[in-house]
Amino acid sequence: MQIDSRQCSLSDLLPKLQGEIQSRGVTVHKKKSKIVLSWTKEEDVLLQNAIQLYGINNWDLVDECVPGRTKKQCKDRYYNRFDPNIIRKPWSYEEDQILLKYRNVYGNKWTEIRKYLPGRTANQIKNRFFSHFADLVENQPTQQIQIHSVFIPVNSGFTVIVNSPIFY
């Protein structure tokens, strides 16, 4: 694809890019200021072959085998789609309770919550929350954890008292 140096904005490049994308048979999703290309079956095969060859810790080498994809895209695709440790069965009641519990603690820090749900990706956790619980949580008043502390110098013989559901 030839790009004219005068055309540097995304809106100018979009028609040319869409023509090239349609010739590849790829679906495009325009997302704010970037274009998201869906992965093709051929790219998935290239990714899997590169991972077999170089392993999951050599993303610089893996992305060279998948033209048009960055190492971050390759890594995300692997961990969200092909990682054998991913649980693909339906969510259990216990997993939902853990999700809600740690969502109240960490907010939308899905990678932190992932530590308490082994086998689930941060993306799966985020999707589960927004598809099943976001409306319920939004309708409830926000609960803020209040920490009541008394800090007094140690040499005076007093102690520090913390009254909180979470201990720091």
Does the fold of domain 93-139 match that of domain 30-82?
yes
The four Cα atoms 32, 35, 38, 43 give a dihedral, to 10 degrees, of -150
User: At CA 156, angle to CA 154 and CA 157, rounded to 5?
Assistant: 75
Segments of the chain scoring below 50 in pLDDT? 1-10, 13, 143-154, 156, 158-160, 162-164, 166-168
* pLDDT, tens only, 17-44: 555 555 565 555 555 566 778 999 999 9
Please report, for the chain, the start and end positions of each structural domain, with discontinuous segments joined by +: 30-82, 93-139
CATH H-level, domain 93-139: superfamily: Homeodomain-like (1.10.10.60)
Give pLDDT, residue 65. Answer: 92
Burial class (CB in 10 A: 0-12, 13-18, 19+), 121: buried
Give pLDDT, residue 134. Answer: 83
- β-pairing, 148-150 vs 28-31, is unpaired
Q: Letter for the amino acid at 120?
A: R
Select 30-82's CATH number: 1.20.200.10, 1.20.140.10, 2.60.120.10, 1.10.10.60.
Answer: 1.10.10.60
Give pLDDT, residue 136. Answer: 77
**Of 55, 154, 137, which is closest to residue 96 (Cα–Cα)?**
137
Enumerate long-range contacts of 41-50, CB under 8 Å, 24 or more apart: 43/68, 43/69, 44/77, 44/81, 44/82, 47/74, 47/77, 47/78, 47/82, 48/82, 50/74
pTM of the model: 0.56
Distance CA 131, CA 99 (A): 13
Looking up tokens 């190492």 gives: 71
| CA-to-CA separations, 11 to 8, 16, 32, 151, in angstroms, rounded | 9, 10, 11, 58
